Structure 1
Amino acid sequence: MIKTDVDLMVKFLRGFSDKTRIQILESIKDQEKTVSEIVEDLNGKQSNISQHLACLKGCGLIVGRQDGKFIKYSLRNQQVRDLLTMFHTVFEEVQTDIACCENHIE
Protein backbone atom coordinates (compact mmCIF):
# COMPACT_ATOMS: atom_id res chain seq x y z
CA MET A 1 0.00 0.00 0.00
CA ILE A 2 1.32 3.43 -0.81
CA LYS A 3 1.37 6.19 1.82
CA THR A 4 -1.73 7.93 0.45
CA ASP A 5 -3.68 4.69 0.67
CA VAL A 6 -2.51 4.15 4.25
CA ASP A 7 -3.49 7.71 5.19
CA LEU A 8 -6.96 7.17 3.72
CA MET A 9 -7.28 3.83 5.51
CA VAL A 10 -6.42 5.51 8.82
CA LYS A 11 -8.99 8.22 8.10
CA PHE A 12 -11.58 5.52 7.33
CA LEU A 13 -10.80 3.66 10.55
CA ARG A 14 -11.31 6.84 12.59
CA GLY A 15 -14.99 6.37 11.89
CA PHE A 16 -14.81 3.37 14.21
CA SER A 17 -12.52 4.92 16.81
CA ASP A 18 -15.06 6.66 19.01
CA LYS A 19 -17.50 5.18 21.52
CA THR A 20 -20.42 7.32 20.33
CA ARG A 21 -19.79 6.50 16.67
CA ILE A 22 -19.72 2.76 17.44
CA GLN A 23 -22.96 3.15 19.40
CA ILE A 24 -24.55 4.97 16.46
CA LEU A 25 -23.44 2.26 14.02
CA GLU A 26 -24.88 -0.41 16.32
CA SER A 27 -28.11 1.60 16.69
CA ILE A 28 -28.69 1.71 12.93
CA LYS A 29 -27.21 -1.69 12.14
CA ASP A 30 -30.57 -3.37 11.60
CA GLN A 31 -32.87 -0.47 10.71
CA GLU A 32 -32.67 3.13 9.57
CA LYS A 33 -33.36 5.80 12.14
CA THR A 34 -33.76 9.55 12.45
CA VAL A 35 -31.42 11.68 14.57
CA SER A 36 -34.10 11.86 17.27
CA GLU A 37 -34.40 8.08 17.40
CA ILE A 38 -30.62 7.70 17.63
CA VAL A 39 -30.45 10.37 20.37
CA GLU A 40 -33.11 8.43 22.29
CA ASP A 41 -31.29 5.09 21.81
CA LEU A 42 -28.00 6.53 23.05
CA ASN A 43 -29.49 8.90 25.63
CA GLY A 44 -27.26 11.56 24.10
CA LYS A 45 -27.40 15.17 23.02
CA GLN A 46 -28.64 15.95 19.51
CA SER A 47 -25.78 18.32 18.66
CA ASN A 48 -23.19 15.71 19.63
CA ILE A 49 -24.96 12.90 17.77
CA SER A 50 -25.30 15.11 14.69
CA GLN A 51 -21.56 15.81 14.69
CA HIS A 52 -20.79 12.10 14.87
CA LEU A 53 -23.32 11.35 12.10
CA ALA A 54 -21.52 13.90 9.91
CA CYS A 55 -18.21 12.15 10.61
CA LEU A 56 -19.65 8.72 9.81
CA LYS A 57 -21.21 10.05 6.63
CA GLY A 58 -17.93 11.73 5.66
CA CYS A 59 -16.11 8.43 6.19
CA GLY A 60 -18.60 6.73 3.87
CA LEU A 61 -19.95 4.39 6.55
CA ILE A 62 -23.54 5.65 6.60
CA VAL A 63 -26.02 7.28 4.27
CA GLY A 64 -28.98 9.56 4.87
CA ARG A 65 -32.32 9.29 3.09
CA GLN A 66 -34.83 12.16 3.05
CA ASP A 67 -38.20 10.98 4.37
CA GLY A 68 -40.54 13.97 4.43
CA LYS A 69 -39.03 16.50 6.82
CA PHE A 70 -36.73 13.91 8.41
CA ILE A 71 -33.48 12.28 7.34
CA LYS A 72 -33.23 8.58 8.09
CA TYR A 73 -29.74 7.20 8.57
CA SER A 74 -28.60 3.68 7.78
CA LEU A 75 -25.42 1.78 7.18
CA ARG A 76 -24.03 2.35 3.71
CA ASN A 77 -24.27 -1.29 2.63
CA GLN A 78 -24.06 -4.93 3.69
CA GLN A 79 -20.25 -4.78 3.73
CA VAL A 80 -20.30 -2.22 6.56
CA ARG A 81 -22.77 -4.44 8.44
CA ASP A 82 -20.48 -7.43 7.85
CA LEU A 83 -17.49 -5.41 9.07
CA LEU A 84 -19.30 -4.60 12.34
CA THR A 85 -20.12 -8.28 12.74
CA MET A 86 -16.48 -9.18 12.09
CA PHE A 87 -15.35 -6.63 14.71
CA HIS A 88 -17.56 -8.44 17.24
CA THR A 89 -16.16 -11.82 16.22
CA VAL A 90 -12.52 -10.74 16.47
CA PHE A 91 -13.19 -8.80 19.67
CA GLU A 92 -14.58 -11.91 21.38
CA GLU A 93 -11.33 -13.70 20.58
CA VAL A 94 -8.97 -10.94 21.77
CA GLN A 95 -10.88 -9.11 24.50
CA THR A 96 -8.78 -10.62 27.32
CA ASP A 97 -5.59 -9.45 25.61
CA ILE A 98 -7.07 -5.99 25.06
CA ALA A 99 -8.04 -5.73 28.73
CA CYS A 100 -4.42 -6.48 29.72
CA CYS A 101 -2.81 -4.21 27.13
CA GLU A 102 -0.97 -1.33 28.74
CA ASN A 103 0.07 0.33 25.46
CA HIS A 104 -3.25 2.04 24.76
CA ILE A 105 -4.60 3.24 28.08
CA GLU A 106 -7.20 6.00 28.00
Structure 2
Amino acid sequence: MKRVGMRVRAKLFRGLGDLSRLRVLEALRDGPLSAGEIVTRTGLSQPNASMHLACLAECGLVTWERQGRFVHYEIADKRVMKLLDQAEDLLLQVGPLIDACPRYRRPARAGQRVPGKRR
Protein backbone atom coordinates (compact mmCIF):
# COMPACT_ATOMS: atom_id res chain seq x y z
CA MET A 1 0.00 0.00 0.00
CA LYS A 2 1.32 3.42 -0.96
CA ARG A 3 1.83 5.76 2.02
CA VAL A 4 1.38 9.51 2.14
CA GLY A 5 4.03 11.63 3.81
CA MET A 6 3.63 12.91 7.36
CA ARG A 7 3.59 16.54 6.21
CA VAL A 8 0.56 15.94 3.97
CA ARG A 9 -1.21 14.04 6.76
CA ALA A 10 -0.54 16.91 9.16
CA LYS A 11 -1.98 19.39 6.64
CA LEU A 12 -5.15 17.29 6.36
CA PHE A 13 -5.67 17.33 10.12
CA ARG A 14 -4.83 21.03 10.35
CA GLY A 15 -7.51 21.67 7.75
CA LEU A 16 -10.02 19.51 9.60
CA GLY A 17 -8.97 21.17 12.86
CA ASP A 18 -10.75 24.39 11.96
CA LEU A 19 -14.11 24.75 13.76
CA SER A 20 -15.76 26.53 10.83
CA ARG A 21 -14.70 23.86 8.34
CA LEU A 22 -15.96 21.14 10.67
CA ARG A 23 -19.31 22.96 10.86
CA VAL A 24 -19.47 23.08 7.06
CA LEU A 25 -18.68 19.37 6.76
CA GLU A 26 -21.28 18.48 9.39
CA ALA A 27 -23.86 20.59 7.55
CA LEU A 28 -23.11 18.59 4.39
CA ARG A 29 -23.36 15.24 6.18
CA ASP A 30 -26.86 14.47 4.88
CA GLY A 31 -26.30 15.59 1.30
CA PRO A 32 -25.71 18.54 -1.01
CA LEU A 33 -26.60 22.07 0.09
CA SER A 34 -26.50 25.48 -1.52
CA ALA A 35 -24.09 28.05 -0.12
CA GLY A 36 -27.04 29.90 1.43
CA GLU A 37 -28.26 26.76 3.18
CA ILE A 38 -24.76 26.16 4.53
CA VAL A 39 -24.67 29.72 5.90
CA THR A 40 -28.04 29.17 7.60
CA ARG A 41 -27.08 25.82 9.11
CA THR A 42 -23.63 26.84 10.31
CA GLY A 43 -24.24 30.41 11.44
CA LEU A 44 -21.18 31.53 9.48
CA SER A 45 -21.24 34.76 7.52
CA GLN A 46 -21.54 34.34 3.75
CA PRO A 47 -17.96 35.53 3.04
CA ASN A 48 -16.56 33.30 5.81
CA ALA A 49 -18.51 30.26 4.60
CA SER A 50 -17.36 30.91 1.02
CA MET A 51 -13.73 31.09 2.12
CA HIS A 52 -13.98 27.77 3.97
CA LEU A 53 -15.90 26.11 1.13
CA ALA A 54 -13.20 27.22 -1.31
CA CYS A 55 -10.52 25.77 0.96
CA LEU A 56 -12.36 22.45 1.30
CA ALA A 57 -12.95 22.31 -2.46
CA GLU A 58 -9.33 23.14 -3.32
CA CYS A 59 -8.21 20.29 -1.06
CA GLY A 60 -10.63 17.84 -2.67
CA LEU A 61 -12.78 17.30 0.42
CA VAL A 62 -15.86 19.02 -1.05
CA THR A 63 -17.16 19.25 -4.61
CA TRP A 64 -19.49 21.85 -6.07
CA GLU A 65 -21.88 22.16 -8.97
CA ARG A 66 -23.63 25.21 -10.35
CA GLN A 67 -27.40 24.75 -10.62
CA GLY A 68 -28.90 27.85 -12.18
CA ARG A 69 -28.07 30.82 -9.96
CA PHE A 70 -26.99 28.63 -7.07
CA VAL A 71 -23.89 26.60 -6.29
CA HIS A 72 -24.48 23.34 -4.44
CA TYR A 73 -21.74 21.70 -2.40
CA GLU A 74 -21.34 18.14 -1.20
CA ILE A 75 -18.78 15.90 0.49
CA ALA A 76 -16.41 14.66 -2.21
CA ASP A 77 -15.75 11.24 -0.71
CA LYS A 78 -17.70 9.27 1.90
CA ARG A 79 -14.39 8.53 3.65
CA VAL A 80 -14.30 12.16 4.84
CA MET A 81 -17.38 11.60 7.00
CA LYS A 82 -16.16 8.13 7.96
CA LEU A 83 -12.95 9.74 9.27
CA LEU A 84 -14.95 12.30 11.26
CA ASP A 85 -17.21 9.54 12.62
CA GLN A 86 -14.16 7.54 13.74
CA ALA A 87 -12.75 10.65 15.39
CA GLU A 88 -16.07 11.08 17.21
CA ASP A 89 -15.87 7.48 18.47
CA LEU A 90 -12.33 8.09 19.73
CA LEU A 91 -13.38 11.36 21.37
CA LEU A 92 -16.05 9.57 23.39
CA GLN A 93 -13.12 7.98 25.21
CA VAL A 94 -10.39 10.62 25.16
CA GLY A 95 -12.36 13.82 24.55
CA PRO A 96 -12.24 15.06 28.17
CA LEU A 97 -8.45 14.59 28.22
CA ILE A 98 -8.01 16.44 24.94
CA ASP A 99 -10.33 19.23 26.13
CA ALA A 100 -8.28 19.62 29.31
CA CYS A 101 -4.88 19.39 27.58
CA PRO A 102 -3.01 22.70 27.97
CA ARG A 103 -0.96 21.97 24.84
CA TYR A 104 -4.10 22.07 22.67
CA ARG A 105 -5.10 25.57 23.70
CA ARG A 106 -6.65 27.87 21.17
CA PRO A 107 -3.90 29.66 19.17
CA ALA A 108 -3.10 33.17 20.32
CA ARG A 109 -4.21 36.11 18.20
CA ALA A 110 -1.63 38.32 16.56
CA GLY A 111 0.18 40.36 19.17
CA GLN A 112 -1.11 38.26 22.06
CA ARG A 113 1.48 36.66 24.34
CA VAL A 114 1.26 32.90 24.80
CA PRO A 115 1.97 31.88 28.43
CA GLY A 116 5.22 29.94 28.72
CA LYS A 117 6.40 30.90 25.24
CA ARG A 118 9.46 33.11 24.86
CA ARG A 119 9.47 35.98 22.43
Query: TM-score scaled by structure 1?
Result: 0.88
SS in 2 for 1:60: coil
State the partner residue of 1:5. 5
Corresponding position of 1:88: 88
> CA contact under 8 A between 1:64 and 1:74: conserved in structure 2?
yes
Alpha-carbon offset, residue 44 of structure 1: 1.8
- 3-state secondary structure, aligned to 1:103: helix
Q: CA RMSD for the aligned pairs?
A: 1.4
Q: Which runs of 4+ in 1 moved over 6 A?
A: none
Structure 1, 4-13 or 83-92: larger mean CA deviation: 4-13
Higher relative contact order (CA 8 A, sep 6+): 1
TM-superposed CA distance for 1:15, in Å, is 2.0
**Unpaired stretches in structure 2, ≥5 consecutive residues:** 107-119
**Residue type of the alignment partner of 1:20:** S
- Larger relative helix fraction: 1
Give the AA of the match of 1:15: G
The structure that has the greater radius of gyration is 2
Partner of 1:62: 62
Question: Which consecutive unaligned segments of at least 5 residues does structure 1 have?
Answer: none
TM-score by length of 2: 0.79
Count of aligned residue pairs for this structure pair: 103
Q: Who is 2:114 aligned against?
A: none
Quote how far apart the aligned CAs of 1:69 are.
Answer: 1.9
Q: Which moved more, 1:91-100 or 1:44-53?
A: 91-100
Residue pairs, 1:38-77, within 5 angstroms: 38-77=38-77
